[in-house]
Structure 1
């Protein structure tokens, strides 16, 4: 018969692996996107816009916005806002900082170079999001907010992401954040890419976690 304990243990190991790897890839993509200097993501622009008005560091404002994302997501889900996504934000922050170290030697000297790095960062970020979401471990506050929108209005993952990013863009504009061409591109590319990649990462996760199941003689 199937050893259910070993099966569950193996599945949990892969969940943690996908969670860490996904956040790592996502962090590297975010760092590359920032280095490209082509256009901040809508919610990154929100963080910067808040810092303009409160005269606080962008990092501090990221935490403030993250808490607001959790509160609104909790209201949409009709539940007490989850705290665990803040842990994911801290882990992601470490990988973003790592990304800046990894890409530190890149010299962005031309507009074409900015655009190329920006384009490269988009599938990297999308892949990272799709991989870590498959783990079903704590989301980032922003993705918790996005998934709450998806669930509340019965949207696809892609549409939920577009709605989330569009709302961020509107708020960033109101706050005077650094919105540019790249911000618009991110809204309409990250969602579809993430939806496409999520389908394959989910299948790959299921294949890995359910393969080579250990049998026990009882």
Structure 2
């Protein structure tokens, strides 16, 4: 049992770090941030604090909404995700160098989409609690049906519009992320689940801890 716990938490925590790295890479690319970061950057520019801090604040608001809709409190992993993601976004944003040319910006951006999408699938796979925004995505799929990619695309397009109204950096890259990131998660989530089940030696679907 200890082996199972260790692998599931390892996937979860590493997935959050990978996701945060991907988000920071996309922001550094300056081609167009993800929909949520259009909002976070707009809030940062208008009210101060940091991009990661606004990530935590909006995450708390989303958790409140999904808890009311689902009539249940989120798992402990959701709270951990909310805080860790905000902290690591600020860390990687500080750590990554500024792109010196447009080509490097595009590389940052494209790799960032792949990294954040894979990280998203990786931390959801252990079923310890999806992040606030991905919990909303999964709730929409559960309540209304459809695929993960459609739910994610719909949420991100709506959030991008709100962020743009507030003055956030909406760009062509925002649309690309909204369309493509869902496809990456659609692939990475079942792939990471298979990897995790293989690592812990289980063949059945994992049950949540919390």
Same fold, TM exceeding 0.5? yes
Bucket of the pairwise TM-score, normalised by the shorter protein: 0.7 to 0.9
TM-score (norm 1): 0.82
Q: 1:141 to 1:158 in 2, by over 3 A?
A: same
Aligned twin of 2:11 = 18
Aligned twin of 2:130 = 139
Q: 1:94 to 1:176 in 2, by over 3 A?
A: closer
Runs of 4+ in 1 over 6 A off after TM superposition: none
Q: 1:80 to 1:10 in 2, by over 3 A?
A: closer
Q: Which sections of structure 1, spanning at least 5 residues, go unmatched?
A: 1-7, 212-218
Q: Which sections of structure 2, spanning at least 5 residues, go unmatched?
A: 203-210
Hey, what's the Cα distance between the residues in 2 that align with 1:13 and 1:24? 17
CA displacement, residues 41-74 of structure 1 (integer Å, 9 cap, x when unaligned): 1111112333455x24244433331122112212
Is 1:185 aligned to residue 176 of structure 2? yes
Aligned twin of 2:207 = none
Hey, what's the Cα distance between the residues in 1 that align with 2:190 and 2:159? 25
- Larger-Rg structure: 1
Counterparts of residues 1-218 of structure 1 (less than 5 Å):
8-52=1-45, 55-58=47-50, 59-80=52-73, 85-100=78-93, 102-104=95-97, 107-210=98-201
TM-score (norm 2): 0.85
Hey, what's the Cα distance between the residues in 2 that align with 1:36 and 1:189? 16
Deviation at 1:150, TM superposition (A): 1.8
Q: 1:96 to 1:127 in 2, by over 3 A?
A: same
CA RMSD of aligned residues (A): 2.2
Deviation at 1:80, TM superposition (A): 4.6
